[in-house]
Amino acid sequence: MDKCSILANKHIIPGLGARKLVDLTADDVDRWLADKAKELSTRTLRELRSILVRTISRAQARDKVKRNVALLCEIPRGKEGRPSKSLTLDQAEAVLKASEGTALHAYIVLSLLLGARTEELRALTWSHVDLDGTPPSIMVWRSVREGGDTKTRKSRRTLAIPRRCADALKLHRERQEVAKRAAGDDWQDNGLVFASKVGTELDAHNVRRSFRAVLKKAGLNEREWTPREMRHSFVSLLSDSGVPLENISRLVGHRNTSVTETVYRKQLRPMLLEGAEAMDRLFENRPEQ
């Protein structure tokens, strides 16, 4: 089930589903959004309104309603979301170690060592993996977003993969062959690198549940972390090691460095050192007046 379906089933249908569309008013939608703002983030409220707008637009196209009342409604400010954080190097190593032997091992290795988005990894196919090249690489060209495209045009990228990623993928491929034989005729060959026991696409809930089990094994509080924070950890670890912001931005598929700075500000190590270092050199041996 995709995110839009989950949001519709969890929030829109219980809240507005009993009303006939022709009787739905802007005031109804405003009250519903205001109520949802007490528990949901502004981003989620925006997604809910977008789903509602598209739904009513389809009804308009079939002359079921005269106007789209959702377009008349402002999106209220929602609940503050939990700020993302990143794993330390020791924590990241503990998570990698704890994931060994699990079905999510290669997924976690690629998340932490490549910084790929979770929706990009869930859509990754073996046809976009080259383990025999020099160096081995993956093509991040798809995602599980609507339409199957990546988040932005810049997000489409080809990445050389570290040796640890290549080893994990080779082992994962062998395990998947075993799973195929075990599934027999039930296996659906979609070419996915990360798939269910019958070859179908993993959903976000499956990934989150398996990730939490690994975190618990690693000695971390599993409820304090989400899979997307492995991407934040990738940015943080690269930044701490001195990789320039421009390079990090390209690796994570951002349009420009300002996007990287805005999203990962807390994870980035300050890089503007030239002025301070130059002044230290200039005034290093001059006595204070």
Q: Catalogue the active-site residues.
A: 117, 151, 231, 254, 264
Question: Dihedral of the CA atoms 251, 257, 262, 266 (nearest 10)?
Answer: 60
Whether residue 172 contacts residue 106, with contact meaning beta carbons closer than 8 Å, is answered with yes
Q: Which amino acid belongs to residue 7?
A: L
Whether residue 89 contacts residue 236, with contact meaning beta carbons closer than 8 Å, is answered with no
Please give the helix or strand (H or E) that residue 54 lies within, else none: helix 42-61
How big is the chain, counted in residues? 289
Beta bridge partners of residue 153, listed in sequence order: none
- Nearest alpha carbon to residue 119 among 10, 253, 214: 253
Structure tokens at 235: 């940015």
